[in-house]
Amino acid sequence: MTRAMSSSTTRPPHALALDAFCPLGARAGAGARAGVRAGALLGGLVALCLVSWGGGGGAAWAQVPEQEDLAVQNRSPREYDGVDVVERLGERLPLDLTFEDEGGAVVRLGDYFGKGKPVLITLVYFNCPMLCSMVLNGALEGMRELGWTPGEDFEVVTVSISPTETPALAREKKANYLERLGLPGAERGWHFLTGSGERSEHVKTLAAALGFGYRYDPSTQDYAHGAAIFFAAADGVITRYLYGVQFPAKQLRLALVEAGRGEVGSVVDKVLMRCFMYEPSHKKYGFYIWGAMRLGGALTVLILGGFLLWMWRGERRARAARLPS
């Protein structure tokens, strides 16, 4: 008896969840077993979300180490006045702005929207000695692990904030990053833009629309700015900000699925969006236990409803079999 109890209580949650879908045996005690299995399904779903995230279940939110803003280290307060990121979630980007792409052609920002795909935006300058490269490298590593291809699943727009940088430099940077990304066809979906002359005002307008503050320092000939990347829906509405210089694939996936509004990602991705939520205090997506419980509750109701329907049909068949022919 003790051995039997031990083997049943050490089964993993996902195994218990699968039990809910197994055929029922004898009719006696079936209702009680269905209740237990429905409860196990809820536990299994929570465990599945935690396993898919790769974190433990000890807290409702996945703890993420804070990353210090490298751009403002060792600077006086006056030097980084206005060098911050003010989130403008829900606001629409001005898609009529024009820039020059890496081939020197004049393009509209709106050329990269309206295709039913989310858009990842980075504001950098290509001759940045440190921070911009770290942001782009972090985005590149996350995209490489993500396994989705720019141009097929989402668009990436990288815009230089320096009015002195040219399409030739943008072309060189694009070739370098595409080689490192190593995804065939990505050249159609990762766009490197510049804005010189009158178009430098368009760069400033885009930065202001995103809430991205930066400041030029003549003494060092570089820009003070924050470290963030931006996500927008296909209609140009800003949906999410991610901060720092490391962007794990799981964070990128959730941000892109959110910006995609159901148009990108698998069914599993869309289900996981119920289990995770962006937490402003952490500036990351974290496991949302109440969302997982609500989803598990809905599935439990469906399972119990299916069980009752099965019981009702079985009873009707039994009564029909007892009737004289």
> Is domain 70-265 given the CATH code 3.40.30.10 in the classification?
yes
Top-confidence residue, 259 or 276 = 259
pLDDT at 230 over 80: yes
Domain extent listing, the chain: 2-58+290-320, 70-265
CA distances in angstroms from 238 to 120, 151, 165, 212, 285, listed in the order given: 10, 19, 26, 13, 16
pLDDT at 34 over 80: no
Cβ atoms 116, 210 nearer than 8 A: no
CA-to-CA distance for 199 and 206, rounded, in angstroms? 11
Nearest to 147 by CA among 75, 252, 238: 252
Cβ atoms 194, 166 nearer than 8 A: yes
CA distances in angstroms from 11 to 4, 29, 55, 57, 285, listed in the order given: 12, 21, 20, 17, 30
Question: Which of 34-38, 95-99, 113-117, 167-171 shows the lowest per-residue confidence on average (mean pLDDT)?
Answer: 34-38
The pTM assigned to this predicted structure is 0.65
CA distances in angstroms from 27 to 33, 314, 315, listed in the order given: 10, 10, 11
What mean pLDDT comes out for the span 132-151? 95
> pLDDT category, 264, cuts 50, 70, 90?
low
**99 Cβ neighbours under 8 A, 6+ residues apart:** 106, 107, 109, 159, 193, 194, 195, 199, 202, 203
**Percent of the chain topping pLDDT 70:** 60
pLDDT at 58 over 80: no
> pLDDT category, 68, cuts 50, 70, 90?
very low
Instruction: Choose from 45-54, 78-87, 279-288 the range with maximum mean pLDDT.
Output: 78-87
* Sign (positive or negative) of CA dihedral 157, 158, 161, 163: negative
The DSSP code for 72 is G
pLDDT at 79 over 90: no
pLDDT at 303 over 90: no
> pLDDT category, 178, cuts 50, 70, 90?
very high
The one-letter code for the residue type at 64 is V
> pLDDT category, 278, cuts 50, 70, 90?
low
CA-to-CA distance for 147 and 153, rounded, in angstroms? 10
The token duo for 100 is 């020059």
The token duo for 300 is 């439990």
The token duo for 292 is 């997982």
CA-to-CA distance for 94 and 106, rounded, in angstroms? 16
The mean pLDDT of the chain is: 76
CA-to-CA distance for 237 and 87, rounded, in angstroms? 12
What mean pLDDT comes out for the span 211-235? 94
> pLDDT category, 311, cuts 50, 70, 90?
confident
The DSSP code for 114 is S
Top-confidence residue, 172 or 5 = 172
pLDDT at 71 over 60: no
